[in-house]
Structure 1
Amino acid sequence: MAALDTKEHLAKVADVKSRDISVSDDESTFGTLVAEEQSHEIKFKTCSWQKTAALLFSEYICLAILSFPWSFSVLGLVPGIIVTLAVSGIVLYTSLVLWRFCLKYPEIRDVCDIGQMLFGGSKLAYNITSVFFILNNTFIQALHVLVGAELLNTLSGSARCTVVFSVVASIICFLISLPRTLDKMSYLGTFSAATMGLAVLLAMIFAGVQDHPFGYIVGQEPLVTAFPVKGTTYVSGMSAFLNITYTLVGQITLPSFIAEMKDPRDFPKALWAVTIAEVITFTLCGALMYHWIGNQYMVAPAFGSLTEEYKKIAFSFAIPTIIFLGALYSSVTSRFIFFRIFRTSHHRYSNTATAWATWAAIVGCTWILAFVIAEVIPFFSDMLSLMSSVFDSWFGFIFWGMAYLTLYPRATRWSGPWRSAETLANYFLIVLGIYILGAGTYVSVQSIIDSYNLGKVGSPFTCASNAI
């Protein structure tokens, strides 16, 4: 895999340590990059901050919100809320550091470019980051293949083979992934986030109005605790913490989003809007649904704790986000590969048959790979947690601590109490990322072992229903 597209781009990356933090010519730089595209049939730098916000909303307002009540049931109400607020704050801060890094180096196109810059222009670092980037996105696509089959099984109540439903989900997601610019994807993102918001709202309302949670046993009222119940193990507690963390960590796509903005300086507007919305939504969903469902009847996603009729109504509103979010990750991956295939070729910016055939082939390959991964790994959920531990530790914490240290060379890191405090905070982020890498890997591997011991692991390409 080529390290970067052109020799000129390589030279810019190699110059990373020689630039000054202050970039006084932002406006002319961004204007030049946008102007360069004006003669192209397909223009990529077309997203306003509102459209970028739509993409962020579609990424964060997703089905994983309905796993927060389970995390709260393990951690307890108070620690659950604290962890949600703390991780949200960290993700907001690191996303702003990422944005500052992208402003300083506007030639950045994706997180792989950043990986190369952070390790001194190393091609090896670029290639390793590229592998992590593609695997992370493909595993998320695979998750949406499985969740799509889960939704179809749940809503239809059919005895049809689950693999068939997985194929149907993959084909639909492939078709939604075909637009070549994020500008076009943003319209679908708005609809996806809106319907998922309705799904979460309905789930909370139904949890409150139903007589009892699904599976209710007479005399055993829902148990709700402020803190973890006695006997909560490190593995279960850490799993709940990591579930919240993995849901909120999403910085891996942000450089790709910023690279297609008309004016990247507006990115914080989109980021703040999404962060405020997600903090409110995630916290309310986790706390309220846990309050009404309790420890004994909690499942993830929390749709499964609703009675049959309510479950189907609320879950049906999640259809657009299940389809679109997987498509968004496919689009980001496909764009990365497409740009490296054509580099400076006119096909990159043109509506030629070659360009569209190549684009469709790349998108199709990502979904074929996602389908195979989803079906061939019988312990996919635990495997996804393992991959998240490896990838999110870097893309959620370590990279952005390193980015800060790159932005502020040694002489400037300790220039005053506030700068010193921020420097210490970024060293902490690196340590936290390393801890998540180790602890998350241990917990995920132990969960795989436990699943095998309890006989909960199925078989590859199974026809068994995975309905909730």
Structure 2
Amino acid sequence: MSGSASKDAAFVHEKGLTKRPGSALSTDSSPDSAGVVGVQIARESQNEIKYRTCSWQKTAMLLFAEYICLAMVSFPWSFSVLGMVPGVIVTVAVAATCLYTSLILGRFCMKHPEMRDICDIGAYLFGGSQLAYNVTSIMFILNNVFIQALHVLTGAKYLNTVSNSAECSIVYGVITAVACFLVSLPRTLNQMSGLGAFSAITMGIAVLLTMIFSGVQSHPFGYIPGVEPLVTAIPVAGTTFVSGMSAFLNITYTLVGQAAIPSFIAEMENPKDFPKALWAVTIAEIVIYTICGAVVYHFVGVRSPNQYVAAPAFGSLTHTFKIIAFSFALPTIVYLGSLYSSVSARFIFFRIFRESRHRHSNTWLGWTVWVGIVALTWVLGFIIAEIIPFFSDMLSLMSSLFDGWFGFIFWAMAYLTMYPGKSKWDGPLRSAETLLNYFFILLGAYITVAGTYVGF
């Protein structure tokens, strides 16, 4: 066998793919996906480290930690740019879209349980291409590292706020990165789910306090006597495309979290239960995001040409209120970045060891490599945080670079692969759904192009 043929065979074996004669690679999808999952669980039964151990409740905790997150306190800023009515409409519309695409994602993962992450899916969607796998891998790692950078940036900002000093930002960033690194060390998502529940609860308290304090304080932070806050139903006159698109991307980034979901499903005992976790989280996020954006914007408002509303919204509170509310967000600052580090490290770790015993045993080599990978992700996150030291700018840039693909294009393509040929036009409802998914591909492309223009 030639060198290229050997590499191709190794790639096919690693991804669980088979090759159609004269065509692209495709997954050998057994109709009994539950049987495949059962085999995977049985193979792990004698291992020291078991991965398929998450119940749907624990998966819901991971999703709650992912979505009830720090970025939600940027919604008041988005509402201040878009206006109250468009802000609510965009939030509900994007949430409904992400719910639908995530359900498609879940169906796809249940049909192909041998795929462990979004990189395996990316290879499949583009015909099993090694190039597609590598490009998706780079995008996946960068997406996660950018999220880690966001949490390093915010952790440093929190410590600056508490200490009332902006002179030690680099030191505070290092402290945050080290704390997150330690929380990232568990090898399975099951071990991290309990912390996820705690993170979501404390973040919920932080948002609640932000809404209460924004109404209780006499004036927002930075108030200019005689220049009263303004609340509008529609965008204020002079709102530019760039600012409006940035506000849209802030909302989109918070609601698009599909990149990590295949990794969550890959560690579920019963992937068919995934929709239960997804529906619970989606209902909660629509309610919380909309109320947070509307209430804080209502009390804080904007002043032209600058804004009283800050991103994150803690910056709109007076100093004492800011410290109290911001402090309850600290577990999320540490945990959520750690979750994404863990997902990235797991992807790299599995590719290094493949079927080796180090992958599922407590060996010195296995743990050394794992710790080294986790540390590397936080070093990269810290560097990016120092390069882009602005919260809203980082959110917009992340959204434009990755969300078009991981939030819309990938899952529309996954839908089209599940209904090949004429089957996608089988009846009016199926045809309408097919047209909707073609629209999602165009929407994802628009977000990527227009969003990147705005981000830069």
Matched residues, percent identical? Answer: 66
Paired residue for 1:400, among 406, 411, 416?
Answer: 411
Task: Report what 1:345 is aligned to.
Answer: 356
CA distance in 1, matches of 2:338, 2:143: 14
| Structure 1 position 387, deviation (Å) | 3.9
| Structure 1 position 444, deviation (Å) | 1.2
CA distance in 1, matches of 2:277, 2:392: 31
Residues 25 and 129 in structure 2, CA contact (< 8 A), matched pair in contact too: no
Task: Report what 1:360 is aligned to.
Answer: 371
Change (3 A) 1:298 1:11: closer
Q: Which shifted more, 36-45 or 202-211? A: 202-211
| Structure 1 position 8, deviation (Å) | 3.0
Task: Report what 1:461 is aligned to.
Answer: none
Change (3 A) 1:376 1:209: closer
| Structure 1 position 27, deviation (Å) | 2.7
**Structure 2 portions without partners, runs of 5+:** 1-6
Confirm or deny that 1:215 pairs with 2:222. yes
Q: Secondary structure at the match of 1:238?
A: helix
Q: Which shifted more, 377-386 or 280-289? A: 377-386
Q: Secondary structure at the match of 2:260?
A: helix
Confirm or deny that 1:36 pairs with 2:47. no
CA distance in 1, matches of 2:182, 2:16: 38
CA distance in 1, matches of 2:135, 2:28: 28
Task: Report what 2:440 is aligned to.
Answer: 429
CA distance in 1, matches of 2:235, 2:326: 29
The number of aligned residues is: 443
Task: Report what 1:419 is aligned to.
Answer: 430
Task: Report what 2:17 is aligned to.
Answer: 12
Paired residue for 2:195, among 164, 170, 188?
Answer: 188
CA distance in 1, matches of 2:337, 2:50: 23
Residues 62 and 197 in structure 2, CA contact (< 8 A), matched pair in contact too: yes
Confirm or deny that 1:201 pairs with 2:212. no
CA distance in 2, matches of 1:286, 1:383: 19
Change (3 A) 1:356 1:152: same
| Structure 1 position 11, deviation (Å) | 5.1
| Structure 1 position 411, deviation (Å) | 1.5
Partner deviation per Cα, 1:250-308 (whole Å, 9 max, x = no partner):
10000000000000000000000000000000000000110000112111111111111
Taking structure 1 as the reference length, the TM-score comes to 0.91
Change (3 A) 1:427 1:233: same
Task: Report what 1:178 is aligned to.
Answer: 185
Aligned-residue CA RMSD in angstroms? 1.9
Task: Report what 2:4 is aligned to.
Answer: none
**Structure 1 portions without partners, runs of 5+:** 446-468
Alignment of 1:119-138 (within 5 A): 119-138=126-145
Task: Report what 1:226 is aligned to.
Answer: 233
Q: Which shifted more, 108-117 or 387-396? A: 387-396
Residues 5 and 344 in structure 1, CA contact (< 8 A), matched pair in contact too: no
Change (3 A) 1:159 1:228: closer
Paired residue for 1:303, among 314, 321, 343?
Answer: 314
CA distance in 2, matches of 1:274, 1:5: 38
Q: Secondary structure at the match of 1:113?
A: helix
Taking structure 2 as the reference length, the TM-score comes to 0.93
Change (3 A) 1:107 1:220: same
Partner deviation per Cα, 1:6-28 (whole Å, 9 max, x = no partner):
6434452646987799x642332
| Structure 1 position 386, deviation (Å) | 2.8
CA distance in 1, matches of 2:85, 2:18: 45
2:341 is matched by which residue type in structure 1? S
Task: Report what 1:77 is aligned to.
Answer: 84
CA distance in 1, matches of 2:79, 2:395: 20
Q: Secondary structure at the match of 1:193?
A: helix
Residues 304 and 311 in structure 1, CA contact (< 8 A), matched pair in contact too: yes
2:317 is matched by which residue type in structure 1? L
Partner deviation per Cα, 1:184-227 (whole Å, 9 max, x = no partner):
01011010000000000010111111122122233333211100
Residues 252 and 399 in structure 2, CA contact (< 8 A), matched pair in contact too: no
Change (3 A) 1:376 1:84: closer
Task: Report what 1:45 is aligned to.
Answer: 52
Partner deviation per Cα, 1:54-103 (whole Å, 9 max, x = no partner):
00000110111110001001100000000000000000000000111111
2:449 is matched by which residue type in structure 1? G
| Structure 1 position 388, deviation (Å) | 2.6
Q: Which shifted more, 204-213 or 347-356? A: 204-213
| Structure 1 position 238, deviation (Å) | 1.0
Paired residue for 2:452, among 441, 447, 451?
Answer: 441
Partner deviation per Cα, 1:102-139 (whole Å, 9 max, x = no partner):
11111010000000000000000000000011111111
Task: Report what 2:301 is aligned to.
Answer: 294
CA distance in 1, matches of 2:10, 2:347: 11
Partner deviation per Cα, 1:316-368 (whole Å, 9 max, x = no partner):
00000000001000000000000011011000000111111110011011111
Change (3 A) 1:179 1:19: closer
Task: Report what 2:3 is aligned to.
Answer: none
Alignment of 1:245-264 (within 5 A): 245-264=252-271
CA distance in 2, matches of 1:427, 1:75: 27
CA distance in 2, matches of 1:154, 1:5: 52
Confirm or deny that 1:61 pairs with 2:72. no
Change (3 A) 1:30 1:383: same
Q: Secondary structure at the match of 2:245?
A: helix
Task: Report what 1:332 is aligned to.
Answer: 343
1:305 is matched by which residue type in structure 2? S
Task: Report what 1:282 is aligned to.
Answer: 289
Q: Secondary structure at the match of 1:232?
A: coil
